Amino acid sequence: MRRFLVAGNWKMHGSKELTAELISGVSRHVLDNARISEQKVLAYDILVCPATPYLQQASTLAEALPIQVGAQNVNANAQGAYTGEVSLSMLSELGCGHVLLGHSERREVFGETDTSIAEKFASCVNGEFDITPVLCIGETLAARQAGETENVVAAQLDAVLDVVGIEGFKDAVIAYEPVWAIGTGETASPEQAQQVHAFIRAKLSGLDAEIADKLRILYGGSVKPGNAEELFAQIDIDGGLIGGASLDVSSFAGICEAAQKLATQA
């Protein structure tokens, strides 16, 4: 059975104080809820992705806790004249084990393309650093209304598959985020989300059934404590990539509790 992953994308929010508050608060809530504070072992995984300036602090605070730390972006190059960018080696030194790639805000606001995202993905899976790529994919409202959801998602996947092949997804994570549901308060229904997740898994299964079956596919798009359990209960949804709710201890902990409940029921 695939292990749930609840990941928080803090985006360009945060401070030293908030980083400490969120990590200590979330760890306290989830461990108390799971009643396993001494063993510090959960039935699912937690990932937080702070802004780059707070990665070192977050890694230090999370070192003895069941919380993993990831980055929000990386440059595909190992080093060079790329002002303002960060490399995999830098992220590794800061204690990052994951990195988000291709978030819709990176695509729309900063002009990242399927090709550039695929290059970043390839640098993760082909490099020497143990950093898991979390590939974000999803359609706009216009694409959904035009019935193009599967075509858009397939094209985003194909761009990466063309570079790394299905083997590149062996240790990766995918996050399906319908753009129309990010930060809008709108959420794909569990059935809508499951339909796309199933499409993603089936597409990859046609290339390698074992890799596809083990691959964790997260849902992102206005996930809250009130809808997390119903979303995560879908057969092909393996957790969530959480935006706004990850900046509130009680909200993020509530989503974590949904994952813990379902994981321990299985």
User: Largest Cα–Cα distance in the chain?
Assistant: 52
Which residues does 212 contact at the CB level (< 8 Å), separation at least 6?
Answer: 169, 201, 202, 204, 205
From the number of C-beta atoms within 10 Å of its C-beta (0-12, 13-18, 19+), residue 229 rates as: middle
**What is the rounded (10 degree) CA torsion for 246, 247, 251, 254?**
40
Residues annotated catalytic, as ranges: 103, 177
| Residue carrying structure tokens 């990831």 | 70
- Tokens standing for residue 39: 């063993």
Q: Is residue 69 within 8 Å of 58, Cβ to Cβ?
A: yes
Q: Which residue has the tokens 């204690």?
A: 95
* CB-CB contact of 187 with 255 (8 Å): no
152-to-15, 45, 95, 104 alpha-carbon distances in Å? 36, 29, 33, 13
Helix (H) / strand (E) element for 49: namely strand 45-49
Count CB-CB contacts under 10 A for residue 83.
5
List Cα–Cα distances, 172 to 193, 200, 251, 253, in angstroms.
Answer: 20, 14, 26, 24
